[in-house]
Chain A
Amino acid sequence: MRLRDLAHSRTGDKGNISNISVIVYRKEDYARLESILTPERIRQHFAGITHGEVLRFELPQLGAFNFVLYEALGGGVTRSLALDAHGKTLSSHLLDLELPF
């Protein structure tokens, strides 16, 4: 099973920092994702893309996590040579994450 089966996601950008929300479809899936979607696991998943710290913020009443990825946008939206300089498509990559169940 992939994260896409349990949750949806949107990416935002500020400078060289990307934030990616993960929002569960069903609240009962929140707790088990909380133990899997650690900042370290997210950093691994974005290896080669994010070069800095990854922070996680929890909003359980919304069934949501907010991940903040530092140094993730090729030096910043206005300097990046990337096709998707804003990193808008990163949410779709996060949803491809394989879950252990």
Chain B
Amino acid sequence: MSTSKTSIRIGCGAGYSGDRVDAAVELATYGKLDYLVFECLAERTIALAQQRRALDPEQGYDPLLEERIRACLPICARQGTKIITNMGAANPLAALAKVKAIINELGLKDLKLVAITGDEVTGLITGDQILIESQQGVSLIQDRIIAANAYLGIQPILTALAAGADVILTGRVADPALFLAPVVHAFGWPLDDYRLLGQGTVLGHLLECAGQVTGGYYADPGYKDVTGLESLGFPLAEVQADGSFEISKVEGSGGEVSIGTCTEQLLYEIHDPTRYYTPDVIADFSQVVLTQTGKDRVTARGGGGIAPTGMLKVSIGYREGFLGEGQISYGGQNAVARGKLAIEILQKRLTRSGIPASDMRFDLIGLNALYGEAASGHEPGEVRVRATVRTNRRETAIQIGREVEALYTNGPAGGGGAYSAVKEIVAIQSVLMSADRIKPELHVEKT
């Protein structure tokens, strides 16, 4: 991008790893975008990707990377839209090789690809570091660590953009940085202008969950009606050099962009709105003003910020045993009583077999699974027993599902639809690490 542009257009083509590709294709085709960002890493995603990489060194990037690149890159290449994505996940270099192979196969020419590594800092984790969430030492989990990844900031993405990258593949970076970087690059914002970086972080925060700002996760019939959710459009923003921006979506796509959708998303996963910590700025969302400027058009201004702490958050993924689960349904009059009897039987049998009560949980879905004691207490026409256990032994996790299934012939009348599952638990805690200990590296390929 040339710095002479007065505005740029950025779209978000994914808000999570499994997000809809059709909406990304629509946005790439009709959004007139300068940049298309795919944000695909939730808290645990990278540790799960690391496990795939451990089984196969060519894997560990986003499972939908190939599908998204095949569908969107030819359109983006034709229109000069640059792609920025954290779909590199646990293996940005393998993602780079994969994208290069796809490009060669499709016969696309003159594209520059950059992978960014250096977020993985497993080797820098020591037992004496303190876990933020539990306030315990890392030594407690050290033998079970899968991987530790630092949230990088905009710097390596800026370097890649300055080098003329058409596709940038990262591992873990702070989600808003994927959007802030192209804006800083396009307008040449100083890296210590924290008001501008804060406003750019508002932009990133609003866009990063894709459909959640265009009417997804919003509809509540009779209260908040949203039309066209079956073809929900993904968001784009036209950003001005002063940082103000307008969120919209492709005309004719489903959903809505309104003050309501933008306010819900602005506060999504925010604690103190005056202090949203990122590697590049502590952003202040508290003074943001939203204005509806047209149908499905909302402008945002007023974001601010102060200097970052110089510490980066590092997420550590580690193995935490197994989760076993069993479910079975009861219906009709007296369903709750039969569900409760089923739970009573399970509790007695599982406790008798030596499983500590604190490691188990029993719910009646339809009655109390979501809000427990706080639930309203109405009598539903059907309930579903759900029994779960957290355990270090796979056999115990399997056992709870078998006990639930046994309720067919050994439990209350009329149980149906039994189901069981066993999952390995990958837990996450974090530590803080000085930013100057973390050295991002760029890897360039040309086609």
Residues of chain A at the chain B interface (Cβ within 8 Å): 4, 8-10, 12-17, 19, 21, 23, 25, 45-49, 55, 57, 59, 61-64, 66, 68, 76-79, 81-84, 89-90, 93, 96
B354 to chain A, nearest CB (A): 18
Q: A4-B220, A62-B290 are in contact. List 19 more A-B contacts (CB 8 A).
A: A8-B220, A12-B268, A14-B271, A15-B429, A16-B133, A23-B267, A49-B372, A57-B271, A59-B288, A61-B287, A61-B288, A66-B273, A68-B271, A77-B44, A77-B428, A78-B426, A78-B428, A79-B427, A89-B371
The one of B224, B288, B388 that contacts A81, using a Cβ cutoff of 8 Å? B388
What is the bound-complex CA distance between A57 and B267, given in angstroms? 10
Task: Please tell me if B270 contacts chain A, counting CB pairs below 8 Å.
Answer: yes
Interface residues of B (CB under 8 A from A): 43-44, 133, 217-218, 220, 223-224, 260, 263-274, 285-290, 320, 323, 360-361, 363, 365, 369-374, 376, 386, 388-390, 425-429
> Are B425's CB and A79's CB within 8 A?
yes
Q: Are B273 and A48 in contact (CB under 8 A)?
A: no
Neighbouring B residues of A23 by C-beta, 8 Å: 260, 263-264, 267
Bound complex: CA A59 to CA B285 (Å): 9
Query: Looking at the complex, which one of B43, B290, B363, B374 makes contact with A48 (CB distance below 8 Å)?
Result: B374
B376 near A21: Cβ-Cβ < 8 Å: no
Which of chain B's residues have a CB closer than 8 A to the CB of A8? 218, 220, 223-224, 260, 264
Given contacts A23-B260, A23-B264, A46-B374, contact A66 B270 (CB under 8 A): yes
How many residue pairs between the two chains, A and B, have CB atoms under 8 Å in the bound complex?
Answer: 118
Take A21-B267, A23-B264, A78-B428 as given contacts and tell me if A57 and B371 are in contact as well, using a CB distance cutoff of 8 Å.
no
**Of all chain A residues, which has the CB nearest B426?**
A78
A57 touches B273 (CB 8 A): yes
Q: What chain A residues lie within 8 Å of B289 (beta carbons)?
A: 61-62
Q: Please report whether the interface of chain B is mostly helix, strand, loop or mixed according to DSSP.
A: mixed
- Flag if A19 contacts B425 (CB, 8 Å): no
Which residue of chain A is the closest to B264 with respect to CB atoms? Answer: A10
A10 and B265 in contact, given A78-B427, A83-B370 (Cβ under 8 angstroms): yes
Is the beta-carbon distance between A49 and B374 smaller than 8 angstroms? yes
| Residue among B218, B269, B287 having the largest count of chain A Cβ atoms under 10 Å | B269
Q: In the bound complex, what is the Cα–Cα distance between A93 and B262 (angstroms)?
A: 21
Separation of A89 and B365 alpha carbons in the complex (Å): 13
The answer to whether A66 and B267 touch across the interface, beta carbons within 8 angstroms, is: yes
The docked-state distance in angstroms from the alpha carbon of A19 to that of B365 is: 24
Known contacts A23-B260, A81-B388, A81-B390: A15-B133 contact under CB 8 Å: yes
In the complex, the chain A residue whose C-beta lies closest to that of B287 is: A61
The answer to whether B374 and A47 touch across the interface, beta carbons within 8 angstroms, is yes
For residue A96, give the distance in angstroms from its CB to the closest CB of chain B.
7
Which residues of B lie under 8 Å from residue A45 when comparing CB positions?
374
Q: Kindly identify which residue among B133, B218, B361 contacts A82, using a CB–CB cutoff of 8 Å.
A: B361
**Judging by beta carbons under 8 Å apart, are B267 and A83 in contact?**
no
Q: Which residues of B contact A48 (CB under 8 A)?
A: 372-374
- Contact: A78 with B425, CB < 8 Å? yes
Closest to A93 in B: B371
